[in-house]
Amino acid sequence: MKTAIFSTHKFEKDYLVKANGEKHLVKFIDAHLSYETVELVNGHKAVSIFVNDDASSRVLHKLKDLGVQFLALRSAGFNNVDIKAASEMGIRVARVPEYSPYAVAEHATALMLALNRKLIKAHSRVRDSNFSLDGLAGFDMHGKTAGVIGLGKIGRIVVKILNGYGCKVLAFDITEDKEFAKKYDLEYVTIDVLCEKSDIITLHVPLNEGTKYLINKDRINKMKPGVMLINTGRGGLLDTKEVIKALKICKIGYLGLDVYEEEQGLFFEDHSDEILQDDVIARLMTFQNVLITSHQAFLTDTALQNIADTTIDNLDCFEKGTSCKNELK
Ligand code: NAI
């Protein structure tokens, strides 16, 4: 089946080529899918996209007009796709629901440790032959209260890791799994109580209407002074401007971000030869206690292999006309 793969990155191409073999006639496209680039799909029945491609209703309409029938997401999150519009137009959509929750959970906790123990600053000092320890003191994770928002596949692994550190874990989710709570000695609380009581807060919910700006001015006000906030979920879960205000008054003591509200067009690309136009991320980058990675939490060899294999499986299912367990409706 002729498939146009948008936003193809160097880090994933070999995995996709290997998983595909000779099955589908794939065209790798560097560009993002957007209203401006959609014409590139001409003649392709299927399209594959990544997290920052635009599959809003107006782009889907164009895809439909160009004969596209299937959208294969190379991601778990699907906040960039208008699923309702796709379904009304008869464009089927499938995702990769799970590729390595371990990769993301491990990255979230890596951000915690790197921030806490000031590893980035320590590394650059040592490289500069400055072996002083002044200003590098961290805190024991052991005994701290960690609040995990979203206890799905990733959040649960985060809980297990935090258990290993000896943290007391609080959790918030719209559904409660009492057995898991008992086994891992965690307490379900409301989001406001979680904000009030946690030393570390980490976000693992999808971005949807119910979670947009879940961390807003009111909730930040409820947090402990010097709280550590980690977001590997989606940028829109945080009101970034309010977060900056809280960093300026030391209300937030540490911020670890793998995602950013306005990451589209910024993350995954090399902009090192350009003047940075985004004033909000520019301000974030000035804080010593902010650590930003550009949406790389998923980036392990296991995850890349699983993403490629599942994407090709989803294309196979569509081509054969069989039901696809990863289809979004
Ligand atoms: P999941 O679907 O297994 O778990 C999500 C959890 O959030 C569920 O337990 C659900 O009940 C809960 N939830 C949903 N809406 C909620 C609400 N309004 N309030 C409270 N809880 C709510 O998803 P998984 O695999 O754990 O992934 C979580 C998110 O992580 C994804 O949606 C995606 O946005 C993000 N992600 C980020 C990656 C990265 O590289 N930074 C890679 C993969 C996922």
Distance between CA atoms of residues 257 and 245, nearest Å: 16
169 token code pair: 């874990």
| pLDDT > 90? residue 178 | yes
| Confidence tier at 156 by pLDDT (50, 70, 90) | very high
Residue 216 class from Cβ within 10 Å (0-12 exposed, 13-18 middle, 19+ buried)? middle
**Mutation choice for ligand 1 from 50, 161, 204, 300, CB with most ligand atoms inside 8 A:** 204
pLDDT of residue 79: 92
What is the residue whose two structure tokens read 């906040």? 79
Catalytic positions: 234, 263, 295
Q: Tens digit of pLDDT for each residue in 285-315?
A: 999 999 999 999 999 999 999 999 999 999 9
Q: What is the pLDDT of residue 197?
A: 98
Q: In the prediction, which pLDDT does 177 show?
A: 98
Ligand 1 centroid from CA 204, angstroms: 5
Instruction: Compute the mean pLDDT over every residue in the chain, rounded to the nearest whole number.
Output: 97
Structure tokens of 73? 């997401």
- Compute the average pLDDT of residues 199-225: 97
CA 172 → CA 52, 87, 89, 143, 255, distances in Å?
27, 31, 36, 19, 20
Continuous segment of H or E residues that includes residue 321: none
Nearest atom (ligand 1) to Cα of 98: 25
Does residue 267 sit in helix, strand or coil? coil
The C-alpha atoms of residue 51 and residue 6 are separated, in whole angstroms, by: 11
CB-based contacts of 194: which residues, under 8 Å, 6+ apart? Answer: 147, 149, 170, 171, 172, 201
Terminal-to-terminal C-alpha distance of the chain: 22
Task: Write out residues with Cβ below 6 Å of ligand 1.
Answer: 76-77, 101, 104, 150-155, 173-175, 204-207, 210-211, 232-234, 258-259, 295, 297-298
- Ligand 1 atom 36 nearest Cα: 233
The tens digit of pLDDT for each residue in 101-128 reads 999 999 999 999 999 999 999 999 999 9
C-alpha span between 51 and 176 (Å, rounded): 28
Question: Does residue 264 carry a pLDDT above 90?
Answer: no
Minimum-distance ligand 1 atom for the alpha carbon of 299:
40
Ligand 1 atom closest to Cα of residue 154: 26
In this predicted structure, what is the pLDDT of residue 58? Answer: 98
How many angstroms is it from 154 CA to the middle of ligand 1? 7
Interval between CA 232 and ligand 1 midpoint (Å): 10
Binning pLDDT at 50, 70 and 90, where does residue 198 land?
very high
Confidence of residue 136 (pLDDT cuts 50, 70, 90): very high
CB-side exposure of 104: number of CA atoms within 13 Å?
Answer: 29
Question: pLDDT tens digits for 4-55?
Answer: 999 999 999 999 999 999 999 999 999 999 999 999 998 999 999 999 999 9
Cα 119 to Cα 123, 165, 207, 248, 253: the distances in Å are: 6, 18, 30, 22, 15
Task: Please tell me what DSSP assigns to residue 215.
Answer: B
Q: What is the mean pLDDT of residues 155-176?
A: 98
Per the CB < 8 A criterion, the answer to whether 297 and 4 are in contact is no
Take atom 12 of ligand 1 and give the residue whose Cα is closest.
150
Q: Residue 323: is its pLDDT beyond 90?
A: no
Question: What pLDDT is recorded for position 166?
Answer: 98
Candidate from 136-140, 158-162, 244-248, 264-268 with smallest mean pLDDT: 264-268
139 Cα to the center of ligand 1, angstroms: 28
Write down the pTM of the prediction.
0.94
Ligand 1 center–CA 205 separation, angstroms? 3
Nearest CA to ligand 1 atom 1: 152
